[in-house]
Amino acid sequence: MKFTFIASEQFYFFGAYYSTKGFLCHDSGISLPAYGYNNHYTFFLDENFCKKYEIKLWNKALKDYSFLNKIKEKITFLEKGFIKRVQKINLEQLTSRQLFDLYKLVYNFFIYYEAEANPIARLLDHYGLTVIRKQLSNVKIPDVDYAVTVLVTSSKPSYLGKEQQIFWQGMLKYKNQSVRNKFIQRHLKNFAYVTRSFYDEPVLTEQELNNRIKKTPSVLWEEKAEEIEKSIKKSLIEKKKLIKTLKLSKNILKSAEVLQKSTELKDYIRGSLSKIWYHSEVVFEEIAKRMETSVLVVKTLLVEELKQSLINHVPLNKKIIQARLNGPILFLPTKKRTMIYYGDKAEKLISRHFKNSQKIPTIEFRGRPVSRGIAMGKVRVINNLTEAKKILRGEILVVSNTYPAFVPYLKRVKGIIAEVGGATVHVAIIARELSLPCIIGITNAREIFKNGEIVKIDANHGIVRRLNRR
């Protein structure tokens, strides 16, 4: 097998385990090993096997991508079914078996998310980018990266952009303070989830909304309300102009259309993931209360372990829990199940099978621009949300990927360098909405660049240049 690096994320057992287990449940049988150590997980794919399935999936989408809508419908069904049920019942009155059944609804969502929805969106993105870049290069398009970015940009705001848009529209609409306060409460009810994902980030709060208001002069509210729509409109004008000027073929336009649909699917399912994560917290809290442990420990348990402990009162294995919380840990999928290795065994296996042999340059680095512009500033390497609070205005953010809770801090930076490499990744979508120069696909960027050194990012051409070291 030839494994290739695809992503690096914050160290968190629950997310990594269900990502690996979910991929294994997908009908492609694709293996997604994950190695957790030093505050982050690194994910790999079996490159040769994956490519065969990607080609099959891409050709299916080119013929008819309506199956993407069916995925969206199933995600919506699972999401609404769980939320409706959890909002209607008193968790304290449930038996432990009934509580476990409610947990299984959360489990079923995550398995479908990682077994069907997320793999398809990711794999279409991964292979589709290769296809459309080759198509554009063959017809001698002068700036392939710019063309790809413009062609695959969604015509819809992301779920994060939608929250911001609706908030500022409400601030403009409701002049009376009492009415405005009621609007803020409704807004929180509808959008408190947006900052959540796999990593237990804090929810959107009234205080944060009030801070938005205080930091933004009222003369800028209209501009804020129109910001997302103007950005989308600008992109659509650029797209129309590009298609007309370059006289792109139907094949290229079809590839762009499929990539755009996969981008929109990825954003939609991430929004659903955030809702599930937000509404499921009370379930995890009730389970933790009954088991006399913490929510964090509950989220390190496999579904079988949780059932045995919650219903049958089987004692937890504290040694394994500590290994899952601290690492090193390796998830290695086999045909039937995911094997989990800890400590020295995990390190030996990762050293043998998953070492990255990429040659790293020293001065100039090339990636893929996803949001145009040029920026220069001091590097700020971020591994998690806690570190994001240290970001200073005018810095260049270096990150694996962003997720919803990062957004307030992104408004401080001049530009972004990211390790992930797909058109549907969160950092690509949000950078375009915020008009931040952004280059993705620079593997090991968080190890290459150091806090305080000065870099220049040219997101018109996909180049990061190191100017000096701190």
Determine the pLDDT at residue 396: 95
pLDDT over threshold 50, residue 382? yes
How far is residue 301's CA from residue 316's CA, in Å, rounded to a whole number?
9
Average pLDDT for 8-36:
69
pLDDT over threshold 50, residue 50? yes
How far is residue 280's CA from residue 15's CA, in Å, rounded to a whole number?
14
Point out which residues pair with 416 in neighbouring strands. Answer: 397, 438
Average pLDDT for 448-455:
92
What is the third-level CATH fold of 364-468? Glucose Oxidase; domain 1 (3.50.30)
How far is residue 349's CA from residue 341's CA, in Å, rounded to a whole number?
9
Determine the pLDDT at residue 39: 60
Most confident of 275-279, 388-392, 444-448: 275-279
How far is residue 443's CA from residue 418's CA, in Å, rounded to a whole number?
8
Point out which residues pair with 34 in neighbouring strands. Answer: 43, 331
Give the rounded percent of residues in the chain with a pLDDT score beyond 70: 89
pLDDT over threshold 90, residue 455? yes
| Residue 199's pLDDT band (cuts 50, 70, 90) | low
29 or 232: which carries more pLDDT confidence?
232
Determine the pLDDT at residue 357: 45
Does residue 368 contact residue 440 with C-beta atoms inside 8 Å?
Answer: yes
Point out which residues pair with 464 in neighbouring strands. Answer: 365, 457
| Residue 3's pLDDT band (cuts 50, 70, 90) | low
| Residues in Cβ contact with 43 at an 8 Å cutoff, skipping those fewer than 6 apart | 5, 6, 7, 8, 9, 16, 19, 32, 33, 34
Distances, alpha carbon 381 to alpha carbons 174, 386, 429, in Å: 40, 12, 20
How far is residue 282's CA from residue 291's CA, in Å, rounded to a whole number?
14
| Residue 147's pLDDT band (cuts 50, 70, 90) | confident
Q: Where in 168-272 does DSSP place strands (E)? A: none
Average pLDDT for 375-379:
93
Average pLDDT, the chain: 86
Distances, alpha carbon 437 to alpha carbons 235, 256, 320, 376, 381, in Å: 15, 22, 43, 10, 16
Predicted model pTM: 0.83
Q: Which of 118-122, 241-245, 302-306 has the lowest mean pLDDT?
A: 118-122
| Residues in Cβ contact with 400 at an 8 Å cutoff, skipping those fewer than 6 apart | 7, 8, 9, 10, 40, 383, 418, 419, 420, 445, 446
Q: Where in 71-144 does DSSP place strands (E)? A: none
Q: Phi, psi (5° rounding) for residue 156?
A: -115, 145
266 or 444: which carries more pLDDT confidence?
266
Q: Which two tokens stand for residue 299?
A: 């989220």
Determine the pLDDT at residue 413: 94
Determine the pLDDT at residue 25: 61
Average pLDDT for 69-96:
95
How far is residue 66's CA from residue 245's CA, in Å, rounded to a whole number?
30
Q: Which of 55-69, 403-417, 422-436 has the lowest mean pLDDT?
A: 422-436
Kind and range of the H or E element at 439?
strand 438-440
Q: Phi, psi (5° rounding) for residue 84?
A: -60, -40
DSSP collapsed to 3 states, 297-330: HHCCCCHHHHHHHHHHCCCCCHHHHHHHHHCCEE
Domain boundaries defined on the chain: 3-135+276-353, 159-248, 364-468
The length of the chain is 470
3-state secondary structure of 62: helix
Q: Phi, psi (5° rounding) for residue 439?
A: -125, 130
Reply yes or no: is the peptide bond before residue 328 cis, omega within 30 of 0: yes
